[in-house]
């Protein structure tokens, strides 16, 4: 007589067949292709839909605001959040970490085997300073997610939500949702304007916002947003 397994159940498979709007799959999805063409008289490349395998894991991009307005204790928040994300990873999951201010620096390219110690070292090396380009940060996240075939895609933004030197970041947040991703915002400040901006960004990106003013709040905040 077998003994029942205990503990957390495994994810049921790490890949599934999906329809994609590109010609790179293994089989043409005729119904989707004909629907895309509609009544147009001529075929175009973008009409072609194929079916292929896509990983069913989660791709997550962590955006760490390292601008002058959030320098200081927020570094510990970023380190704890990155560590908590690493602990949540399961087979098929991918993680990228980006620090940004007026520039964006890729601390960890999107990978299913992130180097936690390298990310931690690079986060501790951040000095903080300069202005905040939220639009650039969100576009950098989109560039990382474009490399992934994960079924679930999330962007976690650690910021006070104040774009001090940035185009309007809401279109970039909306573009993430069109990419099949959700933008969640972890608010590092409790001023009403900051909280409001974080909520607007999350809503535009199809996600949620949560307060994160202390490092010890990181695991609970991640559970609130990602579970």
Same domain, 88 and 189: yes
Same domain, 19 and 118: no
Work out the widest C-alpha separation in the chain, in whole angstroms.
Answer: 66
Report yes or no on 8 lying in a domain. Answer: no
> Does the structure show a pLDDT above 70 at 120?
yes
Report yes or no on 98 lying in a domain. Answer: yes
12 pLDDT tier (thresholds 50, 70, 90): very low
pLDDT of residue 7: 36
| Last residue within a domain, chosen from 5, 37, 54 | 54
Is 47:37 a contact under the CB 8 Å cutoff?
A: yes
Same domain, 171 and 215: yes
Report yes or no on 120 lying in a domain. Answer: yes
Same domain, 105 and 203: yes
pLDDT of residue 97: 95
By residue range, what is the domain housing residue 31?
15-54
> Does the structure show a pLDDT above 90 at 10?
no
124 pLDDT tier (thresholds 50, 70, 90): confident
Nearest Cα neighbor of 62 from 126, 152, 118, 137 is: 137
Same domain, 71 and 40: no
Report yes or no on 9 lying in a domain. Answer: no
pLDDT tens for each residue of 186-197? 998 889 999 999
For residue 194, give the CATH number of its domain. Answer: 3.40.50.410
185 pLDDT tier (thresholds 50, 70, 90): very high
DSSP letter string, 48-76: --EEEEEE-SEEEEEEEE-SGGG-STHHH
* Lookup result for tokens 């940035």: 166
Spatial distance between the Cα atoms of 153 and 57, rounded to a whole number of angstroms? 9
Report yes or no on 181 lying in a domain. Answer: yes
Which stretch of 70-74, 116-120, 124-128, 159-163 has the lowest confidence by average pLDDT?
70-74
219 pLDDT tier (thresholds 50, 70, 90): confident
CA-based angle 14:181:9, to the nearest 5?
30
Averaged pLDDT, 86-95? 88
Report yes or no on 1 lying in a domain. Answer: no
Same domain, 22 and 70: no
Q: In what side-by-side order are the strands of the sheet with 94-100?
A: 104-111, 94-100, 58-65, 152-159, 181-187, 209-211
Q: Is 85 helix (H, G, I), strand (E, B) or coil?
A: helix
Number of folded domains in the chain? 2
> Within 10 Å of residue 37's Cβ, how many Cβ atoms?
16
């Amino acid at each position: 007589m077998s003994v029942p397994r205990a503990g957390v159940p495994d994810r049921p498979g790490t890949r599934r067949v999906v329809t994609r709007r590109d010609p790179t799959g293994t089989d043409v999805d005729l119904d989707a292709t004909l629907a895309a063409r509609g009544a147009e008289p001529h075929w175009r490349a973008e009409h072609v839909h194929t079916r292929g395998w896509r990983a069913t894991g989660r791709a997550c991009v962590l955006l760490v605001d390292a601008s002058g307005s959030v320098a200081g204790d927020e570094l510990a928040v970023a380190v704890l959040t990155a560590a908590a994300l690493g602990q949540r990873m399961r087979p098929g999951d991918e993680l990228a970490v980006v620090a940004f201010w007026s520039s964006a620096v890729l601390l960890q390219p999107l990978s299913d085997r992130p180097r936690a110690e390298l990310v931690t070292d690079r986060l501790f090396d951040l000095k903080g300073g300069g202005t905040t380009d939220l639009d650039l940060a969100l576009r950098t996240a989109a560039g990382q997610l474009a490399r992934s075939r994960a079924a679930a895609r999330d962007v976690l933004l650690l910021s006070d939500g104040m774009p001090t030197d940035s185009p309007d970041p809401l279109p970039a947040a909306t573009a993430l949702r069109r990419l099949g991703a959700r933008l969640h915002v972890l608010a590092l400040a409790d001023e009403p304007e900051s909280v409001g901006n974080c909520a607007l960004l999350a809503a535009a990106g199809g996600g949620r916002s949560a307060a994160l003013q202390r490092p010890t709040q990181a695991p609970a905040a991640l559970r609130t947003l990602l579970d």
